[in-house]
Amino acid sequence: MNAIGAILYIAVVASVMFYGTKISGPVDSIIGPIAAISLFTLSAAVMAYVFGYEPFQLYFDGKKKQALDLALKTIAAFAIITAIILVLLFSGAVR
């Protein structure tokens, strides 16, 4: 479920970036790089929360095996979803 949350967050951010430039046009000021770095920092924090919060909670509750299993399952699910997206992209199925 965490991997799906990550993909949904990425889809929203990518959509805003893709359609935002079409709506507003190119930004020729310092605000563009500031916004990009701010978004990168926010995304790192969100992904750390999505991927790490539950495993850390389990770990600190003494459920170390469950924590590791959840972290590995989340990473594996995210890797599979990412692989599917890359196959779709490079196969030409999505344009």
Asked if 58 and 74 count as a contact pair (C-beta separation under 8 A), the reply is no
Q: Name the residue ranges covered by the structural domains of the chain.
A: 2-91
Q: pLDDT tens for residues 11-35?
A: 999 998 889 878 887 778 898 889 8
23, with CB counted inside 10 A (0-12, 13-18, 19+), is: exposed
DSSP-derived 3-state class of residue 61: coil
Mean pLDDT over 55-61 rounds to 97
pLDDT at 75 over 90: yes
The string of DSSP codes covering 25-48 is ----STHHHHHHHHHHHHHHHHHH
Query: The pTM is what?
Result: 0.79
Tokens representing residue 82 in the block: 């990412």
